[in-house]
Structure 1
Amino acid sequence: MSKDFTDQRLSYEKGTLDSQQLPSAPLDLLQVWLDEAIAQAVPEPYAMSLATCGADGQPGVRIVLMREITESGIVFYTNYESAKGQDFTENPNAEVLFFWHEMQRQVRIRGRITKVAQTKTDAYFHKRPHDSQLAAWVSEPQSGVVSSREVMEARFAELKQQYPEGSHVPTPEFWGGYELSAHEVEFWQGRANRMHDRIVYSQQQGGGWMTKRLLP
């Protein structure tokens, strides 16, 4: 059984990307676009698709939540023993994609992955809701096979007894933050007739950025 979507089309006419009005650094423009997405009530505008590739050469993509924009890149948190964590160990190169359908915009960020400092991980972990902290302990290892939902729920219940609301939950040693340090960032603004605006920032050897317009 097949389904034909070739007649489904949408004209993109909600904005432009003027190469004469760009900030010198791409993460400044990312912050501007993110602030505009928040102002327009885009659902979870900090959600991004994270693409990795390990030693087996098989790409993997999943949604994760960006938690910080730094001077050099973006920060997110996950299980170090997860499939993506294993990919980072084997190949620290990765790419993320933000897509804000309501604004007809997307941003691609390519770069290199490193772990953040343990103090930063601890600070973020203890900002999370109490039950989210417990859930991190349930996922050991993340993506590991579990015999049933009931096994997960039982482990969660045990942890709630061990660490009642208001108590200190230790940061799991297998959980923490990663920073993607950007070396290439592409901004895409949908335009009518598929004549989209695409501007790419490429980091230069001295640390500055060069911009180029790409064909759609």
Structure 2
Amino acid sequence: MNHCDPAGLREPYDGTPLCRTELSPHPMEQFHTWFTQAHTSGIPEPNAMVVATVEASGAPRARTVLLKGYDASGLRFFTSYRSRKARALAAYPTASAVFPWHPIQRQVIVSGRVENLTDEENDTYFAQRPRGSQIGAWASEHQSSPVADRAELERSYARRSEQWADTAEIPRPPYWGGYRIQPLEVEFWQGRADRMHDRFRYWLSEGEPADGVWHLERLSP
């Protein structure tokens, strides 16, 4: 097999030092600072995150989804409640999300419990989506399930487009909604020269994320 040797694809790291004194006391405040900097740096889709779940079989599975909101309570994303990740979250309501901001030599990992968003939160976000995406949510009602071919998907989309042709506001599918990853552990990684990276981990010692005590420690690279 002729291919490029990935071991030879080395890139030097020369990121700005990350000091403990510069970090916010709450991990989501620090996340907001870094997310804002990632956005203003021009990184394409800084809200893209790799979300890993554990399936009922105990096997891990990861995929890229888009962050659609965050605050002190955690990270929000949306999907079909019939999807494979939804089934995994029903079995084990925990997840880990990774933001791989390679162009600025940074990475954030958020791990914690997962809860379903409310109907009000789901309706509010669905109403903000482009009309085509709203129709797509209806057309792909069996997300993650096998499909015969692309033509079948196109026919499903066409049927839904016709169904809602005279409707100004498309309702949210009952099987579509969002999740919140409630952080219990958050790690901030800053690339440094000679692989002597800066890593800091926030972890919750007790209570819920809303009222627990956050601790901060430096990790060996």
Q: Which category describes the TM-score, using the shorter chain as reference length?
A: over 0.9
TM-score, normalising length from structure 2?
0.94
Gaps of 5+ in 2: none
Q: Could you tell me which residue of structure 2 aligns to residue 10 of structure 1?
A: 11
Match of 1:168, SS state, is coil
Residue in structure 1 matched with residue 87 of structure 2 by the alignment: 86
TM-score normalized by the length of structure 1: 0.96
Are residues 1:186 and 2:187 paired?
yes
Q: How does 1:141-152 map to 2 (within 5 A)?
A: 141-152=142-153
Pairwise CA distance, 1:166: 6.2
Quote the offset at 1:75 in angstroms: 0.5
Match of 1:36 in 2: 37
Residues 196 and 55 (structure 1), Cα distance of their counterparts in 2 relative to 1, 3 Å cut: same
1:184 Cα deviation after fit: 0.1
Question: SS of the residue aligned with 2:125?
Answer: helix
**RMSD after superposition:** 1.2
Q: Which residue of 2 aligns with 1:98?
A: 99
Larger mean CA deviation between 160-169 and 142-151 belongs to: 160-169
Residues 110 and 185 in structure 1, CA contact (< 8 A), matched pair in contact too = yes
Distance in 2 (alpha carbons) for counterparts of 1:5 and 1:62? 22
Q: For structure 1, list consecutive stretches of 5 or more residues without a partner in the other structure.
A: none
Matches within 5 A, 1:1-216: 1=1, 3=3, 4-164=5-165, 167-206=168-207, 207-216=212-221
Secondary structure of the 1:188 match is strand
Does the C-alpha gap of structure 1 residues 24 and 165 become closer, same or farther in structure 2, counting only changes over 3 Å?
farther
Q: Evaluate the alpha carbon distance shift between residue 151 and residue 33 of structure 1 in structure 2; reply closer, same or farther with a 3 A threshold.
A: same
What SS does structure 1 have at the residue aligned with 2:123?
helix
Q: CA deviation at 1:165?
A: 7.3
**1:130–1:165 contact (8 Å) kept in structure 2:** no
